[in-house]
Amino acid sequence: MHFREATIDDISQMHTVRIAVKENILPDPSLITPDDYQEFLFVRGKGWVCEIDDAIAGFAIIDLKEKNIWALFVYPYHERKGIGKQLQKIMLDWYFENYDDTLWLGTSPNTRAENFYRTSGWKDVGIRKNGEIKFEMSKEDWKDKRK
């Protein structure tokens, strides 16, 4: 496993991972375009990937404009190997070394993702209009979790 910053050349494989997931499924894969990935990676935020045998096994993208986790996905074949946990660590360590604002994310209820975020220290702050659970992570909460 190799973790690194995402590049423009990763976008196609990142989208392959995104549409392969079993939870938080895109109703229409064309809703997210290569231009969307480029904007979130290089204009609005930053991203990281995990490679296994030269293929993207997972990725994470943070949206600095909205202070939001835009993506954290792992290819189903590579689930339960610690990839999501490590991508989250890299992303949140980087963010809180550079910024102080609280982050948020939304995920579907009654999913493994919901459990992942709860056990990772994210705080449930309610339900979004789209029915997702809204979680927040402050710099202090992340520091406490890292101790």
Q: Structure pTM?
A: 0.94
Q: Which residues of the chain have pLDDT under 50?
A: none
Q: What is the pLDDT of residue 102?
A: 98
Pairing outcome for strands 2-5 and 45-52: antiparallel
Domain assignments of the chain as residue spans, ordered by start: 2-146
Helices marked H in the chain:
11-20, 34-38, 83-98, 112-119, 139-146
Tell me if 86 sits within 8 A of 3, measured CB to CB.
Answer: yes
Q: What is the pLDDT of residue 21?
A: 87
- Which CATH number does 2-146 carry? 3.40.630.30
Q: Which amino acid is at 143?
A: K
Which residue matches tokens 């204009």? 43
The encoded tokens of residue 145 equal 């979790």
Q: In what order do the strands lie in the sheet with 45-52?
A: 2-5, 45-52, 55-63, 68-74, 103-107, 133-137, 123-127
Q: What is the pLDDT of residue 60?
A: 98
